[in-house]
Structure formats: structure tokens, C-alpha cells
Amino acid sequence: MSVDLQRYSRQIVLREVGVNGQSLLRDSTALIIGIGGLGSPASLYLAGAGLGRLILSDRDHVDRSNLQRQIVYRSADLGRAKLDAAADNLRALNPECVIETRPGPLDEAGLAAAIGEADIVLDCSDNFPTRFAVNATCVAARKPLVSGAAIRFEGQIALFVPGGPCYACLFGEHGEATETCEEAGVLGPVVGVIGAMQALIAIKALLGIGDDAGRLQLWDALKLSWRRLNIARDPRCRVCGSN
């Protein structure tokens, strides 16, 4: 199948993409865990960019309180399963992108199967148990993982690749305090920026451009400032360490 030169013209014109890069994207599969505030912009941008296949996983239904920031949904989607609503809206955006849905929560086997089919994984979930399970499965399957999180006026993103530090090297056994956006609040554009960055990092990783792996990018949405920290690999990490 040939590439739709007109649809993707603004990115094909980039020297770093070109027709070859566009074909690479068309031949790629991304798994997106969680289609909420982060997964909405991430899935929209990846579908728009012409990824060949997106696998979506989520467990929720569209709630009125989601519409403030979860931009893949419309008011008409209220009460629908998020997977059905997101799949319809992503197909409407780009019929060339194959959308598959895996109702969550995925058990260990389901997660391993979904990650096994993906070239890259985007963790857009909102809880630490899921993040740790996704990380461990990505490490075992040697798949790159784009991790993102946002709350209040803060966001963070990191790309983890095989052989480098993993999410558990950074956050140890349990992660930070498990606050939720329901309790702590968040502005829509804050998750929008972080979700869009996850799509950007995923596209760059698939194209083999940029140098994002092993760094934690922290965003202060009040000051509009970014901080970048190198993540050290923990040789005693229970997920990627040698023990």
C-alpha cells in the first residue's frame, strides 16, 4: 500500500521523516495504556501521524468530568465505553489507521500479549500498579516505553529503552504518593502538553531520531519551565537489574 502523500505532506517534507519515515510509521504499532487526559492527545496525534495500528486499552466509561481534558471524546459519547468512543473518533480522524481495543484491566497474560504486538508502548495510565506492571512487561519483552504523568500544574515524561534504566530504577518499589487528578485537580492543557509530548517522543523513537532515552523531563506549568534529569540505571533494580 502506498503512502498518502497529501495527508502526511507536512511531515513528509521534513528531512528527518520523508517517504521512508512515513512508511516506517505506517508499518508501526503503538500500544496506548489508558485513554484519558494523556491518552487522548497521544492517540489523536499518533492516528493523525499515520501510525499503521494503534492498540488501545482502558476500563472506563466516558464521564461528564472527563470532557474538560480528555479531548478524544465528545459530549455525545457520555456513558459509552471509552474504548468504543475513542476508536470511533480516531477512525473518523484517520481511516487508514487500524484501531484495536483491549478492554482493561489487562491481566498479566493480556498485557504481555498486547505489549508483544507493539513496536512502542505509551503508558498513559493514572496509577502506580499499572505503571509498574507495564514497565516490567516492557523490560521483559525488550520494548521501548514512553511514560507520562501529570497532576495539578506539573508534568513529567521519560523514554525507557531496552538496556537503559527502567521506570523502576527511577521510582523503586512503590513510586511516589498516589494522588489522583480527581482529588488534586489538573488543567486540561497540562495533560494535553504531556500527552502530546508522549506522541512526539514515540514518533521520534520509531523514526530513530532524537536522543530522549534515559532522561526524565519535568515540566512546571506555572513557570512554563522544563527541567531535565539523567536517570541512572540501578544495578540492583528488581526489574532490570542483573539479580
**Which residues contact Zn ion by CB under 5 A?**
166, 168-169, 237, 239-240
Residue 127 Cβ, how far from Zn ion at the closest point, in Å? Answer: 19
**54 versus 170: smaller Cβ distance to Zn ion:** 170
Residue number closest to Zn ion, CB atom: 237
**25 versus 138: smaller Cβ distance to Zn ion:** 138
**24 versus 112: smaller Cβ distance to Zn ion:** 112
Residue 201 Cβ, how far from Zn ion at the closest point, in Å? Answer: 19
Residue 234 Cβ, how far from Zn ion at the closest point, in Å? Answer: 6
Are 128 and 82 in contact, with CB atoms under 8 Å apart?
A: no
**139 versus 190: smaller Cβ distance to Zn ion:** 139
> H-type helices in the chain, by residue range?
9-12, 18-26, 39-49, 82-93, 108-117, 128-141, 167-171, 181-184, 188-207
CB atoms within 10 A of CB 189: 14
Distance of alpha carbon 74 from alpha carbon 83, whole angstroms: 13
CA count, 13 A, side-chain hemisphere, 126: 20
Residue 241 Cβ, how far from Zn ion at the closest point, in Å? Answer: 6
Could you tell me how many residues make up the chain?
A: 243
